[in-house]
Every structure is written in C-alpha cells, then in structure tokens.
C-alpha cells in the first residue's frame, strides 16, 4: 500500500481562486489610465510561504506512516496502478505554452486590425501623393519658362561665341548660379508639399493609432480571461487525475482506515484554511489598490501588477486555526 504526496491536492483549491476577485475596484470611483487594473498572484509561491504550510507536510508524513503500518500488518502487496505512476503535467510548462499561444494570437489579430484600419488611409495617401506630385511637376514647368531661355542663351554663347577665358568663366558661373537657383526653388516646393501631405494625413493617422490602442487593451483583457479559463480547465483535469491516483489502498483494517481518513480530513481542512487566508488577504489588497481582478500568473496583460509579495508580507501564524 502506498500514499502519494498530497501536494497536488492544492490544485483544486488553487483552481477555485484562479480569479480571486472580480469588480474589487468598484469602490474606487477614479483611477488614472496608467494604474494597473489586474492583479497577479503566484499561488504556489504564496502557499509555500504560508507559516502553516510546514504543518501540511508533517500531516502528510503521518498519513503515509499510517498507511505503511496497515500494509505491514496485512502483509499485502502494493497494488500497481498505471494511473498512480503517471507523471502529472507540470503547470508551469502548461502555463508557458498557453502564454506563447496567446501572444501569437495577440500579434496576429493586431496585425489584421492594423491592415484593416490602414487600408483606407493608404489609398488616401496614394491619391494625395499623386496630386501633389502633379503640382510639383507643374511648378517645375513654370520654373522652366523663367530659367530655360536664360540657360539656353548662356549655353549658346559658350558654344558659338569666341570668348576670352575670363568671359567664359563668367558665363559658366552665371549658368551654374541659374541652375542652382532653379534647383533650390524646386527643392523648397517639394518640401512644402511634403509638409502639406503630413498635415492632411495627421488627423486620420492619429485616429487609427487611437483605435489600435483601444483594440489592444480590449484584446489584452479578452486573452487574459481566455488564458485563465484554459489554465483552470487543465488544472481541474489534473486535480481529478491526482485524486484518483492518490486514493490509498487499505487492507481491511477498519481502525487504521479510520485513522487515515481522519488524517486526510485534517490535511484537507488545513489546506483549505491556508488558501482561504491567502484569498482574504489578496481580496483586501485588491480593494485597497483598486484592482478589478486577481488572477494566477498568466502573462498577457501588460498593465497587471504582481501582489504576491504583499500577500506574503501579511502572513502571521496565529491568523488561522483548525476548528
């Protein structure tokens, strides 16, 4: 007969507080946009830091000793159970996988939303760019009416008239000056048109950025809830499997069976008291800090705040007692 460790029995209790509190911030009427609205609690860490966690291990050892004694007295062989020997999935690994999938979904949906919102903006930008390019080309044509005759006249003199070196140098300098002057005016016009395009596109660009920011916040909240639900479902299945695998195999010794049952009841009560103590402290912190919800560690919401340390700092051994 064997008695597996009862650590996995905390899973049922942890699942029940995956979202410890919702709407805790209803007593807070005002809150800045940068204040985190979601709290994160590392339940495993909080349980292990609880001053009465050591008592659970001692009770488990006592329960195991009782089962071992029953086995020895009955001289019964330990029954092999495939389910008992199965390795339960590690919740940290499972949570990491869920987070990775949620991050990929977030990025994909944000990319789709960006494409959707910017489609119309891109069309308008192309239309405006085409119009301004035509205006720049027309401006260049007007400049040519002023500068081309003068440039052509100088070029003709340089090619046909017998000039001294000084005269040739003077005409060449004048030609370069005219060309530079035309180029500067054309560049200034180009810069003016670009600034006009930026001004005309700015309001719509700002509106799209605001829509994307709002959508990102909504998507964070949606995926955080989805991640918590998936984690709870997996933890519940694991807990059910753990309970099935951890049932002791007794040999008919009614007195020892009663002792084991009593010890298991004592363990369950202590586990519940520890989780209730953590739940109460976390709920108090949530109200004080104006948090809307407290969840297990699901890394999706960028505005979440970890309150694990605050909960642990409030532990006191005399706070809870077995009834």
pLDDT digits (tens, 9 = 90+) for 129-152: 999 999 999 999 999 998 999 899
Q: Which strands make up the sheet holding 305-306, listed edge to edge?
A: 19-22, 293-295, 38-40, 305-306
CATH number at residue 22: 3.30.910.20
Residue 20 falls within a domain, yes or no?
yes
Q: Considering Cα of 292, then 294, then 300, then 306, what sign does the dihedral take? A: positive
pLDDT digits (tens, 9 = 90+) for 174-196: 999 999 999 999 999 999 999 99
pLDDT digits (tens, 9 = 90+) for 1-48: 444 444 434 443 443 444 444 444 444 444 444 555 788 888 888 888
Q: What is the pLDDT of residue 4?
A: 43
Residue 239 falls within a domain, yes or no?
no
Residue 161 falls within a domain, yes or no?
no
Residue 66 falls within a domain, yes or no?
yes
Residue 149 falls within a domain, yes or no?
no
d(CA 95, CA 237) in angstroms, rounded, equals 14
Our count of domains for the chain comes to 1
Q: Are 264 and 243 in contact (CB under 8 A)?
A: no
Select from 77, 65, 66, 79 the least CA-distant residue to 254: 66
Residue 192 falls within a domain, yes or no?
no
Residue 181 falls within a domain, yes or no?
no
- The helix or strand, by DSSP H or E, that contains position 20, with its residue range, turns out to be strand 19-22
Report the alpha-carbon angle 228-231-235, nearest 5.
140
Residue 306 lies in domain = 1-79+249-323
Q: Is 303 helix (H, G, I), strand (E, B) or coil?
A: coil
d(CA 287, CA 307) in angstroms, rounded, equals 12
Q: Are 320 and 273 in contact (CB under 8 A)?
A: yes
Could you tell me the two tokens for 197? 């395009």
Residues of the chain with pLDDT under 70: 1-36, 74-89, 245-253, 296-303, 317-323
Residue 132 falls within a domain, yes or no?
no
d(CA 104, CA 98) in angstroms, rounded, equals 10
What is the CA 59 to chain-centroid distance, rounded? 39
Q: What is the pLDDT of residue 132?
A: 92
């Amino acid at each position: 007969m064997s008695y597996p460790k009862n650590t996995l029995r905390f899973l049922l209790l942890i699942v029940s507080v995956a979202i410890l509190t919702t709407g805790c911030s209803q007593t807070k009427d005002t809150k800045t946009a940068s204040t985190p609205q979601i709290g994160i609690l590392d339940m495993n860490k909080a349980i292990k830091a609880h001053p009465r966690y050591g008592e659970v291990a001692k009770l488990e050892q006592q329960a195991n000793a009782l089962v071992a004694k029953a086995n020895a007295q009955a001289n019964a062989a330990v029954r092999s159970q495939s389910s008992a020997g199965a390795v339960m999935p590690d919740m940290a690994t499972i949570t990491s996988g869920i987070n990775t999938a949620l991050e990929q979904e977030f990025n994909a949906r944000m990319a789709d939303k960006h494409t959707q919102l910017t489609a119309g903006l891109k069309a308008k930008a192309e239309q405006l760019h085409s119009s301004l390019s035509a205006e720049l080309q027309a401006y260049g044509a007007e400049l040519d009416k002023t500068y081309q005759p003068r440039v052509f006249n100088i070029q003709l003199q340089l090619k046909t008239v017998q000039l001294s070196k000084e005269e040739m140098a003077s005409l060449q300098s004048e030609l370069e000056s005219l060309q530079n002057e035309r180029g500067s005016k054309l560049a200034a016009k180009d810069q003016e048109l670009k600034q006009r395009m930026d001004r005309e596109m700015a309001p719509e660009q700002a509106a799209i950025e605001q829509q994307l920011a709002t959508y990102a916040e909504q998507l964070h909240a949606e995926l955080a809830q989805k991640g918590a639900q998936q984690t709870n479902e997996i933890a519940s299945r694991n807990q059910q499997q753990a309970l099935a695998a951890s049932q002791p195999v007794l040999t008919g010794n009614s007195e020892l069976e009663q002792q084991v049952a009593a010890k298991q009841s004592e363990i369950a009560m202590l586990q519940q008291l520890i989780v209730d103590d953590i739940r109460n402290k976390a709920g108090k912190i949530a109200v004080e800090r104006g948090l809307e919800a407290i969840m297990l560690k699901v890394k999706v919401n960028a505005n979440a705040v970890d309150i694990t340390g605050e909960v642990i700092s409030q532990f006191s051994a005399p706070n809870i007692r077995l009834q």
